[in-house]
Amino acid sequence: MMNFLNDWGLVLTIFLPLAGALVMMAIPKQSEGAIKLVALGAPLAAAAMGILLMLNFDYGDSEHLQFMVNKNWIELINSNFILGLDGLSLPLLALTLFIVPLVVIYSWQHVPNPGNPKAFFTLMLILETAMIGSFLAQDLILFFVFFEVTLLPMYFLIGVWGGEQRRYASIKFFLYTLFGSAFMIVAFVALYFLAKAPTGIALEQLRALGGSYADMQAGDPLHSFGMQALTYSGAAGIAKTTAIVIFGGMFLGFGIKVPMFPFHTWLPDAHTQAPTQGSVILAAVLLKLGTYGFIRIAIPIIPVAARAWAPIIGILAVIGIIYGALGCLAQTDMKRLIAFSSVSHMGYTMLGISTLTAFGLNAAVFGMVAHGLITGLLFFVAGSVKERYHTLDIKRLGGLLISAPKMGWILGFATMASLGLPGLAGFWGEFPAILSAYDPAVGLNVVLFRTLMVLAAVGTVLAAGYLLWLYQRTAFGTPSEEFANDPNITDVNKFEWLAWSPILAGIVILGFFPGLIFNVAGPAVEVIARTVGG
Amino acid sequence: MWFFTHVWIIPALMALSFLLILFFGKKMPKKGAEIGIVFVGAAFVLALLTGGNWIAWSNDNPEGHGPAAEGAALANVDPSCSSVAAEAAAVGEGVEQVEGKTAASEPAGAEKGGHEEVATRPVVSCVNWFENGDQTISIGTLVDGQSVLLLIVVTLISLLVHVFSTDYVHGDRRYTHYFAFLSLFTASMLFFVLSENTLQMIVGWELVGVCSFALIGHWWEEKPNSDAALKAFLTNRVGDIGLLVGVIVLYFAAGKSFSILDLNILANEGGISHNLLLIGSLCLITAVMSKSGQFILHTWLPDAMAGPTPVSALIHAATMVVAGVYMVARLYPVFFEGLSISGSSVNALSMIGAITALFGAMLAFVQKDIKKVLAYSTVSQLGFMVTALGVGAWTAALFHLFTHAFFKACLFLGAGSLSHACHHSFNMVDDMGGLRKIMPKTFWTYLVATAALAGVFPLSGFWSKDEILAGTGSFPGTQGANGEYHVMLVMLLLAAFCTAAYMTRTIWYAFYGEYRGHGTPHESGPRITTPLIILASLGAIAGIVNLPAAFDFLPEGAQTRFEHYVEPVGLYFPAITHAGFNPALAVVSVLVGLAGIGLAYLYFFKDAFAGLHGLAERNKVAAFFKNILVNKYYFDWLYTTVIVGFVKGPLARAANWFSANVIDGLVNLVGKTAVGSGNWVYKNVDQKVVDGAVNGAGSSASGVGAMLRLTQTGRIQQYAALFFAAVAILAGVFVVVIG
Amino acid sequence: MLLNQFLLLSAILFTIGVYGVIVRKNGVLVLMSIELVLNAVNINLIVFSTYWGIAGQVFALFTIAIAAAEVGVGLAIVLLIYRNQRSVDIDELDEMKG
């Protein structure tokens, strides 16, 4: 069993959805039942594989990559097919495997206009493969490939199944992200050429990490894309200024994906126009690729530059928190408001990352998962509201608790979770991040970070403000005349229950047992924090 | 011991009750109410048993003095919860660390009226909650006198409110949800009370806040109710900034530990710098201001009366709003050292408390709504407690919390009973009156509770208020207090005077004169009156648990029981001193109360029966009272005269105005500005500049493309011409460069 | 040697050819102009072959062969265009417009 998992576990988890997509190609368009069965079966198979992996995962050793796969891939550039699972990847892998089947279940009854479930689910399965691959890849090129492959299905999901301005939104999403990736790949290539094998460490170790060639000597260029090898060599041989520029490239690539403050404008458009399923996946998983990239790649590989960039990231994160919240207050569209709240919430995650401490990074990992669940749920509910009311204009909504009481309760639950109520998952992403800013890594400006801490704490008030304001205007009160006796407005249906109740349970469970993530990710981020000297 | 280590069962019971009601409540014959009552009853019994065990545990305390004993007293603290306590428990260590402090605390022990004060033995148990980085964060329970006291108070009031509610909200559209939230609230409050670390406190603190939000907005169909709920939640969130920052500062100050014992012991022994403690305590005071309705963040509390009345009694009078007081009491060393309470005459905590006590009391005069009067009265009484903590009278604060819970809950439930009879109106001026005969049980319980609140001897309010007044250490003869807080004493006496007067006013409006509402009022049923009678009795007699030590004519062991069992002694608590009982002060405080009551009468007499005064004229007052209410002029006159007559009148109006316009206005302004600037930033910066730049890049690319397109005519010859031109130019360049 | 004169002749022929390609409207004439250009190149190749050996002449023969093929294909295209458009005016052929 262990052997099988070691060899095939991760590969199967990644490619089972893709296999599902291939199978689906063979199914004729008319037999929707079979299509949906495959669409649900493939992610469930991947999830089952994931559960097997998680059951066999050595939690006492979560700082090391497990179930490693290391095969030659593109020998010309010494890029290898390296996969691995450690405490940092595990929560995100779990999140992805958790969310996608729920999205499929939610789509069971309503594939958005213009229909065509075959194409819709095929894209979703490809997307899942790409997302899982990004979280498991341990080679920069492999990561980059998966990272970019996520773009295409999402582009089509928005562009074909989206709202009225879907073309604008999808192109904006695509170009914006691609713009960032361009800088990112340049940074990767620069690392490949500039990183050198450091003196004074065992080269065998470096070779074992899959990053070098046989006759390499200390001081030789590393010529490797292996994340482990690069991390191990600690960016030796790269001058500080060069390192800062390289980090800048990655910052653009990952920061746009997060999205950080000045690069966030694609997000509201993409979310507003995307179909519900797209919004959920985008918010729940895709945004995390950015923050994950920071923690997995940018910070450990070039820690020198990370320290230089940390204050900037911190400042932008806090601007994002406050600014996103202000943006929320100005919104009249429910989905757009939730989208802006993502900017604010991801700000907490980035603040945690910018402290470069184990505590902060761990808070960021928790924040990613919590935000994925909570915002995913919020988008689900918003989608269902839109389906019933045919509008998301906050001014026209109201009285959801009367029209569809259960949905109103779920929305209330999600807003409470989103505003960081202790006992629910959101709190553990927010409070520890704020806390970590009090005591950033050695060498960072303490006064600056403490100021950021207070500002971030102020952000929690604004968050409560816009979320409760949203809730008051959509759920409280009585329904307006136009919707008062609308027979289309029904309460939560069977498929929505199936899709939502696991998320509800997840939010509560993580709220009461934060150790489920903290304990797993802790050792892994601690190693990273140590490389930065935090 | 079993009860102390398994005390978590009590909140867990209530949490279970919440889930059961939520999922199965609607299917039950009584719609879930019975689940709540059974569980809260069980919780109450367990709390009582825990209380009994605590008394036995304290009596069973091994004799012994000095640092070694104090260290040994911490032996029941799980070392994984508090490393500092564990260190101190290793006796030798304890001796070393506290040598300096204990010398000062010796006289305090000696002064405690003959009772040997031995170190309290708190029981702390915990489990590993999660690990973050190199930090292990635990979750557990801290049992000592203070938490046991609150356990009993919360479960008792909650039980009575449950019973009361079965009648009061009978047939409500969300009856089941109402009981579910009562259970959740009780669970959260108990969780908060038993917190072993500050992180847990935050969790409980916010959870009770959200229950309060849900219950204030119980009838959310009407906008004012949901507005009030939002206001309560947001105001509390503002205070929570202070809580978050304060807890974070103290976490690092205590060497990366959330543990309350770690923090307290370190603060007490000077292990944390004064500045850090000052910053921490000031941050936490912000939180207290919002949660416990202290000036200037008190405005949400009167609005919170939009919720059902039993909720006001439970949450917004007896339990949740005292969370701030409880937190200060819990982390007392931080405040005691941070604010240098001992030996000074003014500090932030006492100042805020005294201002709140006085201004809150004055605001109560101008309210028509009986619940608002009681709400402002709560604000004012919370001010008393906070002042008490600020002046170092820890026990007095907790004692007042204890007595106040009974008589204020009684008053609120009484108001609920009144409104139940008067078509759900709380407007005592327009819709009540003359209910004394019709609702005798409500009347008598209300009267007793009012007298207790006004501090009439020998009801419970008298004892607790007197202790606070003595605790200021300002009155001649109250030696032994922690400082001399003259301003506070004066303000509190004035507040006590106002309290007596406005409560008299509510009694007149509600119970005297003629009935002014619609329909025929009736006495409420037994499920409403029984809780009233219980609470009124407790409000009357609760004072005996802490009779002054000076009453040495009583049998040994009858005095200062409350202090003995509730106030901790030991490393984790500062060496506070206690003011002795002063008969003169007691007489003054009773006189002040009576003067308030008396003068309140006089204002109704003065016009018609000049020269007459005294309490005997009650019925004639009632007759005249009717005239005043018939005439609107009298009504206005009453207000102006009462206000002018009490001298502080203009101030009360100013305070009301300030409260309604400046503070509320500021809140609104901040809200509007935030929305406005949000709008502005969104419209101008976000949509134009940032987005503009993005769009600009796109359009400039497409513009260049359009220009280039012009060259694409499709004419082969033109292409050829361009081609040759290009070749020619390149050739030229080649010749020039190479040649 | 008359190298310069030959090169001059070739340049003149080339220029005339280019001029014809760019200016003439008639497709057949454009093809003929292309022949001129190619022949200008041939002259150059042959002239230089007197200096650098036989390779130039081989290339010239090769070019002639290619040119013949090119004219064949070109004329066929022109014929087809005439059939479709009833004209061989190159200005009317702007199907490649972007």
Shortest distance between the Cα of B118 and any Cα of chain A, in A, equals 38
- CA of C97: which chain B residue's CA is closest? B714
Physical contact, A and B (3 or more Cβ pairs within 8 A): yes
Rounded Cα–Cα distance for residues B53 and B36 (Å): 25
Angstrom distance (rounded) from CA B442 to CA B168: 14
- Indicate the DSSP class of residue B572: T
| Whether A86 contacts A300, CB under 8 Å | no
Cα–Cα distances (Å) from A32 to A24, A39, A493, in that order, read 10, 10, 21
Interface partners of chain A (CB pairs < 8 Å, 3 or more) are B
Fill in the amino acid letter for B160.
L
Chains C and B share 3 or more Cβ pairs within 8 Å: yes
Q: Which stretches of A27-165 are DSSP H helices?
A: 32-56, 89-107, 117-136, 140-149, 151-161
Lowest mean pLDDT among A310-314, A403-407, A491-495, B104-108: B104-108
pTM reported for the whole predicted model: 0.81
Tell me the domain boundaries of chain C: 3-90
User: Model confidence over B386-424: pLDDT tens digits?
Assistant: 998 888 888 888 889 889 988 888 988 888 888 887 777
- Is pLDDT of A409 > 80? yes
- Contact status, residue A114 vs residue A160, Cβ threshold 8 Å: yes
Q: Does A265 touch chain B (CB under 8 A)?
A: yes
- pLDDT for the residue numbered A418: 92
Cβ-defined contact of C91 to B715 (cutoff 8 Å): yes
Six-digit token string for A257: 């994906």
- pLDDT of C7-55, one tens digit each? 999 999 999 998 888 888 888 888 899 999 999 999 999 988 888 888 8
Residue A124 lies in a domain: yes
Number of H helices, E strands in chain A: 25, 2
B220 with A477: Cβ contact below 8 A? yes
More confident residue, A500 or B607: A500
Average model confidence (pLDDT) across chain B: 78
Which chain A positions have a beta carbon within 8 Å of B249's beta carbon? 438
CB contact under 8 A, B230 and A522: no
Within 13 Å, how many C-alpha atoms sit on residue B59's CB side? 8
pLDDT exceeds cutoff 90 at B509: no
From chain B, pick out residues whose CB is under 8 angstroms from the CB of C30: 717
C23 in reach of chain B (CB within 8 A) = yes
Nearest to A44 by CA among A130, A134, A125: A125
- B710 interfaces chain C, CB cutoff of 8 Å: no
Neighbours, chain B (3 or more CB pairs < 8 A) = A, C
Say how many residues make up chain B: 739
B704 CB-contact burial (10 Å; exposed 0-12 / middle 13-18 / buried 19+): exposed
Distance of CA A484 to the CA centre of its chain: 38
For the ranges A123-127, A463-467, A488-492, the lowest mean pLDDT is seen at A488-492
Which of C24, C81, C88, C96 is most worth mutating to test chain B (most B CB atoms within 10 A of its CB)? C96
What pLDDT band is residue A44 in, cutting at 50, 70 and 90? very high
Q: Which residue reads 């184990």 in tokens?
A: A358
Answer for the pair B538, B406: CB distance below 8 angstroms, yes or no: yes
| Residues 34-93 (C) with a CB less than 8 A from some CB of B | 90-91, 93
Rounded Cα–Cα distance for residues A168 and B688 (Å): 16
Which of the pair, C61 or B340, is modelled with greater confidence?
C61
Task: Tell me the one-letter amino acid at A162.
Answer: G
CB A131 within 8 A of CB A278: no
To the nearest whole angstrom, how far is the Cα of A79 from the nearest Cα of chain B? 33
Report whether pLDDT(B52) > 90: no
| Pairwise CB contact (< 8 Å): A435 & B131 | no
C81 to chain B, closest Cα gap in Å = 14
CB contact under 8 A, B679 and A359: no
Is B226 close to A476, i.e. CB distance below 8 A?
yes
- Residues in Cβ contact with B610 at an 8 Å cutoff, skipping those fewer than 6 apart: none
Chain A nearest-CA distance from B698, in A, is 9
Residue B713 contacts C, CB cutoff 8 Å: yes
Q: Would you call B613 helix, strand, or coil by DSSP?
A: coil
- What is the DSSP pairing of strand B135-143 with strand B123-132? antiparallel
In a domain, A363, yes or no: yes
Residues of B with CB below 8 A from A401's CB? Answer: 220
The residue-averaged pLDDT of B60-68 equals: 67
CA distances from A177 to A159, A160, A189, A379 (A): 15, 19, 18, 21
Per-residue pLDDT band for B479 (boundaries 50, 70, 90) equals: low
CB contact under 8 A, C93 and B713: no
- Pairwise CB contact (< 8 Å): B683 & A330: yes
Q: What is the pLDDT of residues B486-500, one digit of tens each?
A: 888 888 888 888 888
Q: Cα distance from A38 to chain B (closest Cα, Å)?
A: 34
Is the C-alpha dihedral spanning B34, B40, B44, B47 positive or negative?
positive
Distance (Å, whole) CA C96 – CA B418:
91
Choose among B714, B721, B724: nearest Cβ to C94: B714
Chain B neighbors of C21, CB-CB under 8 A: 717, 720
CA distances, B169 to each of B29, B173, B229, B365, C7 (Å): 16, 9, 19, 29, 112
Contact of A499 with A106, CB cutoff 8 Å = yes
- Coil, helix or strand at residue A196: strand
Query: Which pLDDT value is given to residue A376?
Result: 93
* CB within 8 Å: B709 and C23: no
For residue B371, give Cα distances in angstroms to A76, B418, B435, B477. Answer: 81, 11, 16, 38
Number of domains in chain A: 1
Q: Are the CB atoms for A452 and B661 separated by under 8 Å?
A: no
Provide DSSP, B618-645.
Answer: HHHHHHHHHHHHH-HHHHHHHHHHHHHH
pLDDT tens readout for residues B247-269:
999 998 888 888 888 888 888 88
Residue of B nearest to C95 (CA): B714
Q: What residue segments make up the domains of chain B, in order of their start?
A: 220-340, 347-571+584-647, 651-738
Cβ contacts of A480 on chain B, cutoff 8 Å = none
Whether residue B604 has pLDDT greater than 70: no
**Confidence at residue B670, expressed as pLDDT on a 0 to 100 scale:** 63
Residues of chain A contacting B230 with CB distance shorter than 8 Å: 468-469, 472
Per-residue pLDDT at C70 exceeds 50: yes
- Residue pairs spanning B and C at CB distance below 8 A: 31
| Nearest residue in A to B251, CA atom | A435
Q: Quote the pLDDT of residue A317.
A: 92
Whole-angstrom distance, CA of residue B400 vs CA of residue B219: 32
The domain in which residue A288 lies consists of: 2-195+238-532
Q: Extract the tokens encoding A127.
A: 């997307």
Say which of A362, A422, A432 has its CB closest to residue B207: A422
Nearest CA in chain C to B713: C97
Mutation test of the interface with chain A: which of B215, B248, B275, B680, choosing the one with the most A Cβ atoms within 10 A?
A: B248
Lowest-pLDDT range of A522-526, B102-106, B604-608, C70-74: B102-106
Give the one of B226, B234, B682 whose C-beta lies nearest to A464's C-beta. B234
- Sorted by sequence, the CB contacts under 8 Å of residue B505 that are 6+ apart come out as B365, B373, B600, B642
Contact C96 B716 (CB under 8 A): yes
Q: What is the mean pLDDT of residues A110-135?
A: 88
* Closest CA–CA distance from residue B718 to any residue of chain C (Å): 7
Query: What's the rounded Cα separation, in Å, for the pair B184 and A66?
Result: 42
- Could you tell me which residues come within 8 angstroms of residue B308 by beta carbon, excluding any fewer than 6 positions away? B165, B168, B169, B172, B178, B215, B218, B219
Q: Can you list the pairs that A1-9 forms with residues at least 24 positions away whose Cβ atoms lie under 8 Å?
A: A1/A56, A2/A56, A5/A52, A5/A53, A5/A56, A5/A67, A6/A67, A6/A68, A7/A69, A9/A49, A9/A52, A9/A53, A9/A56, A9/A67
Instruction: Report d(CA B391, CA B357) in Å as an integer.
Output: 14
Q: Which of B707, B711, B717 would best serve as a mutation to test chain C binding (most C beta carbons within 10 A)?
A: B717
Contact A164, A273 (CB under 8 A): yes
Band of pLDDT at residue A168, cut at 50, 70 and 90: confident
pLDDT of residue B481: 67
* Pairwise CA distance, residues A505 & A307, whole Å: 38
A226-255 pLDDT, tens digit each: 888 888 877 777 888 888 999 999 999 999
CA-based nearest residue in chain C for residue B718: C22
Cis amide leading into B548 (omega within 30): no
Pick the residue with more confidence: B739 or A508?
Answer: A508
Residue of A326, A432, A526 with shortest CB distance to B681: A326
User: B139: which strand partners?
Assistant: B127
Residue A40: closest CA among A127, A135, A113, A107: A107
Q: Which CATH number fits domain C3-90: 3.30.360.10, 3.40.47.10, 1.10.10.10, 1.10.287.3510?
A: 1.10.287.3510
**Out of A327, A468, A518, whose CB is closest to B131?**
A518
Minimum mean pLDDT among A230-244, B276-290, B598-612, C9-23: which range?
B598-612
Model confidence band, residue B63 (pLDDT cutoffs 50, 70, 90): low
Does A159 map to a domain? yes
Q: Is the pLDDT of residue B552 over 90?
A: no
* Residue A42 CA: distances (Å) to CA of A23, A100, A494: 10, 10, 22
Alpha-carbon gap: B695 to the closest alpha carbon of chain C (Å): 24
Of B135, B241, B694, the CB nearest to A457: B241
C23 and B713 within 8 Å at the Cβ level: the answer is no
Q: What is the chain B residue with the closest CA to A534?
A: B133
Q: Between residues A291 and B734, which one has the greater pLDDT? A: A291
- Count the Cβ atoms, other than its own, within 10 Å of residue B372: 20
- Does residue C21 sit at the B interface (CB-CB below 8 Å)? yes
Q: Are B578 and B395 in contact (CB under 8 A)?
A: yes
